Amino acid sequence: MKRYSAFAIAREAFRHHTGWERAWRSPQPKAEYDVVIVGAGGHGLATAYYLAKNHGITNVAVVEKGWLGGGNTGRNTTIIRSNYLQPSSMAIFEKSRGLYEDLSQDLNYNIMFSPRGVMMLAQTEHELRAWKRTAHANRIAGIESEMVTPQQIQEMIPIIQTAGPRYPVLGGLWQARGGSARHDAVAWGYARAASNMGVDIIQQCEVIGVDRDASGVTGIQTTKGAIRTKKLCIVVAGNSGVLADMAGFKLPVESVALQALVSEPIKPALDCVVMANTVHGYMSQSDKGEMVIGGGADSFNNYTQRGSFHHLEETVRALIETFPMVSRLKMLRHWGGIVDMTGDRSPIIGTTPVPGVFINCGWGTGGFKAIPGSGWATAEMLADGAPRALAAPFALDRFTQGRMIDESVAAAVAH
């Protein structure tokens, strides 16, 4: 694989860019792999990458029904932060955020990780106390995050209205090294690097059945034929329930549509990510200039990648209340993704009732930020056959034991 660099661009510029290679190979599936990963979203691709890089396991296929990165990884609002509350969440999200810091260099692909800071507004006394609690937990876990005053917020974010009549801003939890990254580039960067190390990424190949015998999984059926494997990892976000059904077990997961929208692009006006949980408004400005806005989730099961319009109304109202200038922007496009919500709104990484089948799902509305960390932890699990410290708390059995990892304690949502 030829390295990307400014020099390479200059060289290519003089030969009409004819020398650029394919970013990833498009192989036909082999008959058998050591590991098959279903789902070429961020989590599946990162898992493949770290399997190859950290564990030397390269006889790996990532099987994708559509185009790689076309699931939630390609349709999310790209908020990256690690200031969670529960120790197990802090551990995996901070691991992930740390990996994001160097990911462009690691992958030799500019994923545009931009630590422009994430501001989580507190607009009720209750929320203020919750953020303070989180800030303490973060500091102890070595995560840089701090409480800031309304005055500081107003200075950092000139377009914000901190003294709104209904929900004045009482403070904020600020994670300076949170931010965003280019969503597509994360998928593409991992795909390119994994492909380069020998991982087969097989697109337009839908898994339609899971083969098993008494000892466990033996392979999968796909629209491109059967593939044998003894280790199958399901990483399909909103479709987890469907795949689990094929494999013969159930998950504590429901699939619902979560929406997002973008405004038309404007010159820079917002320099960080702002989350206003009380009113449900999430906004950042991309490098292209559009305001990237996270909307609400439907409360009914839905596989359509469309959501109900009223969630957008609620979101936009909240944003206008928080940033009055938004009223005179225009909505360019809105869309939905199918997110997998678990019983405690925390993810699942672990073994399943079917030997050889592993699961990584339940990232719901907040798993983009977790892609590197989750890939790292899932690769460990696949290599060892059992989860290590990062993944262990997220095992499936917590739902039987009542060991909830409930982040909604601190925030209504987990973008």
Ligand X SMILES: Cc1cc2nc3c(=O)[nH]c(=O)nc-3n(C[C@H](O)[C@H](O)[C@H](O)COP(=O)(O)OP(=O)(O)OC[C@H]3O[C@@H](n4cnc5c(N)ncnc54)[C@H](O)[C@@H]3O)c2cc1C
Ligand Y SMILES: Cc1cc2nc3c(=O)[nH]c(=O)nc-3n(C[C@H](O)[C@H](O)[C@H](O)COP(=O)(O)O)c2cc1C
Select from 25-33, 70-78, 141-149, 387-395 the region that touches ligand X (CB under 6 A): 70-78
Chain centre distance of CA 185:
13
Q: Does 167 bind ligand Y (CB under 6 A)?
A: no
Q: Which residues make beta-bridge pairs with 63?
A: 38, 202
Using DSSP bridges, classify how beta strands 216-222 and 225-228 pair: parallel, antiparallel or unpaired.
Answer: antiparallel
Q: Is the dihedral of CA 235, 236, 242, 243 positive or negative?
A: negative
Q: How far is the CB of 264 from ligand Y (least distance, A)?
A: 8
CB atoms under 10 Å from CB of 192, counted, come to 23
Count of CB atoms situated within 10 Å of the CB of 110: 14
- Give the span between the Cα atoms of 341 and 408, in whole angstroms: 12
Under DSSP, the state recorded for 114 is: B
307 lies in the site for ligand X, by CB under 6 A: no
**What is the C-alpha to C-alpha distance for residues 182 and 195, in angstroms, rounded to an integer?**
20
40 binds, among ligand Y, ligand X, other proteins, none (CB under 5 to 8 A by kind): ligand X
Q: Could you tell which of ligand X, other proteins, ligand Y, none binds residue 292, using a CB distance below 5 to 8 A set by kind? A: ligand Y
Stretch that binds other proteins, among 53-61, 111-119, 206-214, 217-225 (CB under 8 A): 111-119
Nearer to other proteins, 218 or 325 (CB): 325
> Binding of ligand X at residue 77 (CB under 6 A)?
yes
Judged by CB under 6 A, the chain residues 39 through 58 that form the site for ligand Y are none
Please give the size of the binding site for ligand X, defined by CB under 6 A: 40
Q: Which amino acid type is present at position 142?
A: G
Among 24, 35, 37, 43, binds ligand X (CB under 6 A): 43
Task: Specify the residue, 281 or 366, whose C-beta has the smaller distance to ligand X.
Answer: 366
* Interface mask toward ligand Y for 250-289; x: CB under 6 A: ------------x-----------------------x-x-
Q: How far is the CB of 15 from ligand X (least distance, A)?
A: 34
Residue type at position 330: K
Residues 100 and 205: their CA atoms lie apart, in Å, by 29
Question: Which of residues 112 and 260 has its CB atom nearest to ligand X in the complex?
Answer: 260
Only one of the segments 41-49, 223-231, 243-251, 366-374 lies at the binding site for other proteins (rule: CB under 8 A); that segment is: 243-251
Residue 154 within binding range of other proteins, rule CB under 8 A: no
Pick from 305, 308, 320, 354: which binds ligand Y (CB under 6 A)?
305
Does 1 interact with other proteins (rule: CB under 8 A)?
A: no
CA-CA distance, 1 to 170, in Å (whole number)? 52
51 in Cβ contact with 382 (< 8 Å): yes
The footprint of ligand Y on residues 310-369 (CB under 6 A) is 332-333, 335
Q: Is residue 186 a contact point for ligand Y (CB under 6 A)? A: no
For residue 152, the Cα-to-chain-centroid distance in whole angstroms is: 29
Q: Does 199 bind other proteins (CB under 8 A)?
A: no
**Is residue 308 classed as helix, strand or coil in its secondary structure?**
coil
Under 8 Å between Cβ of 249 and 259 = no
Instruction: Pick between residue 75 and residue 95 the one whose CB is nearest to ligand X.
Output: 75
Does residue number 399 form part of the binding site for other proteins (CB under 8 A)? yes
> Buried b / exposed e across 276-296, counting CB within 10 Å, b at 16+?
bbbbbbbbbbbeeebbbbbbb
Alpha-carbon gap, residue 364 to 300, rounded angstroms: 14
One-letter-per-residue 3-state SS of 35-73: EEEECCCHHHHHHHHHHHHHHCCCCEEEECCCCCCCCHH
Tell me how far apart the alpha carbons of residues 344 and 384 are, in angstroms, rounded to a whole number. 27
What does the binding site for ligand X look like in residue numbers (CB under 6 A)?
38-44, 63-66, 70-73, 75-79, 206-207, 235-237, 239, 243, 258-260, 294, 337, 339, 363, 365-369, 415
What does the binding site for ligand Y look like in residue numbers (CB under 6 A)?
74-76, 78, 183, 262, 286, 288, 290, 292, 305, 332-333, 335
